[in-house]
Amino acid sequence: MSTVVVVDYGMGNLRSVAKAIEHVAPQADVRVSSDAREIAAADRVVVPGQGAMPDCMRELSARGLREAVIRAAAEKPFLGICVGLQMLFGHAEEGDVMGLEILPGRVPRFPLAAMVAPDGTRLKVPHMGWNQVHQAEAHALWDGIEDDARFYFVHSYYVEPQNPDVIAGSTHYGIPFTSAIARANIFAVQFHPEKSAQAGLRLLGNFMRWNP
């Protein structure tokens, strides 16, 4: 039986993520855990996150989970969600903090001057609600999900990878931005699959079947 740990560092919609995974993988052993040993022993690891990046990074370190997450991202199927995507990169404008630096790149805020819809109206920040994700490449986690399917977003910051080869999906909100990345055993998304109806559940199910 596959064991998946949803990492609990006090920042994220943990229970709804765990419930969504239980729904798509009823045979799996799904655990919400802040124990580094459980993370190390898991077959798969999910790192969700919401809220401010400085708070997330502080709590991750305070709970002794920073190294456990870095090791998991190096060794086993790893899914990052929202801030769980952003923390994979380097400098974040929010709070002027550094992420885990697993991937080169930065995390800027949506530029207010560019937040204009095609009809000329101002776009609000945070970007909140449903939007399309254009699949930049074929990937096992996109299996059965239509290109430009809609997913649910809530964020004011986005990732800007230094290496475009890791971009797995992009979205447009005033500007085009990276909404999914993939590298080896890592897949991470800016949107919330647990809030994204059938497309989101399909992605979570694909993650549970994925053997990178």
- Select which of 56, 127, 155, 192 is catalytic: 192
- Select which of 56, 127, 155, 194 is catalytic: 194
Question: Active site includes 139?
Answer: no
Question: Active site includes 194?
Answer: yes
- Select which of 56, 59, 82, 127 is catalytic: 82
Question: Active site includes 56?
Answer: no
**What long-range pairs does 7-10 form, CB within 8 A, spacing at least 24?**
7/33, 7/34, 7/39, 7/45, 7/46, 7/47, 7/48, 7/65, 7/68, 7/69, 8/32, 8/33, 8/34, 9/34, 9/49, 9/56, 9/59, 9/60, 9/63, 9/65, 10/34, 10/59, 10/63
Provide the CB-side half-sphere exposure for 199 (13 A, CA): 18
Q: Are 139 and 123 spatial neighbours (Cβ–Cβ below 8 Å)?
A: no
**What three-state secondary structure class fits 11?**
coil
Residue 198 to residue 200: CA distance in whole angstroms: 5
Enumerate the active-site residues. Answer: 82, 192, 194
